[in-house]
Amino acid sequence: MKSCVFLAALLLTVWTAVQVETVTHVTRQLFACQTNDTQLENDYELDDDETFHIDFDKKEAVPRIPDFAKFWVPPPDAPARAEGRRQVCIHNVAGFAKCHEYPPEEQDAPRVTLYHENDLELGKPNTLICFIDGFHPATIKVTWTKNTLPVTEGVTLTQYYPNKDFTLNMFSYLSFTPELGDVYSCQVQHSALSETLTTFWEPDVQTDSDVVETAFCAVGLTLGLLGVAVGTFFLIKGNKCN
């Protein structure tokens, strides 16, 4: 009897030792196309983050972050399979559109957020990031200006990334050196917008003169408050004497 109890306790101990927490991960493959064959996308994702996508022009798989390539090795035949799916996708889209009497495409207007990548210091190179989110369909145009003049040098644009609601998002980057007085804008054109959506950005950095001016204002405010306090004190004392 004692042996049975010992064996049961031993089995319980072994079971406890090997029990591990179950973690759920979600993988997703997205393929998007249009009948005019101008917008194609084939993404592979893990937990809402892209691992790699297919570049149809170069016919190769491209990891989103190159340093991760050694961990996420695309299947060797991924580009070839993507090309086959491209033909099927275009055929099916045309067929479904005809079957449903060519319904109007859903329109979702983009939202734009403009911010800088690193801590802002005047005269030091930085990157402006224009995040365009929540738009559909995929066709979109993103441009930059500096002091109302078009900027093309130092501009990069990512591919489209899908959201859970099947709208899209993307990033545009502008390499620049912030200088006081410069005004930048990220301009977005999309079929769901009645006019160009323009978001402005300008450096918000205190100069030496701003610091001195702020210091003088602070001293003046302090002296003013002190004077009010002293005056109030004597006023109260005077009232008590009366």
* Cβ(61)–Cβ(76) below 8 Å: no
Provide the Cα torsion 28, 33, 38, 42; round to 10°.
20
Per-residue pLDDT of the chain (242 residues; tens, 9 = 90+): 433 333 333 333 344 455 556 788 888 888 888 766 667 888 888 887 788 888 888 888 888 776 666 777 778 888 998 888 888 888 888 898 889 888 888 899 999 999 999 999 999 999 999 999 999 988 899 999 999 999 999 999 988 888 888 899 999 999 999 999 999 999 999 999 999 999 999 998 765 554 445 445 554 555 556 655 555 555 565 565 55
Residue 104 resides in a domain: no
Query: How far apart (Å, rounded) are the C-alpha atoms in residues 32 and 168?
Result: 11
Tell me, what CATH number does 61's domain have?
Answer: 3.10.320.10
- pLDDT score recorded for residue 18: 52
Nearest alpha carbon to residue 204 among 96, 111, 94, 119: 119
Count of structural domains within the chain: 2
Query: How far apart (Å, rounded) are the C-alpha atoms in residues 14 and 3?
Result: 16
- pLDDT score recorded for residue 148: 95
- pLDDT score recorded for residue 211: 47
pLDDT digits (tens, 9 = 90+) for 97-110: 889 888 888 899 99
* Residue at a domain's end among 99, 127, 159: 99
Give me the domain span that covers residue 68.
24-99
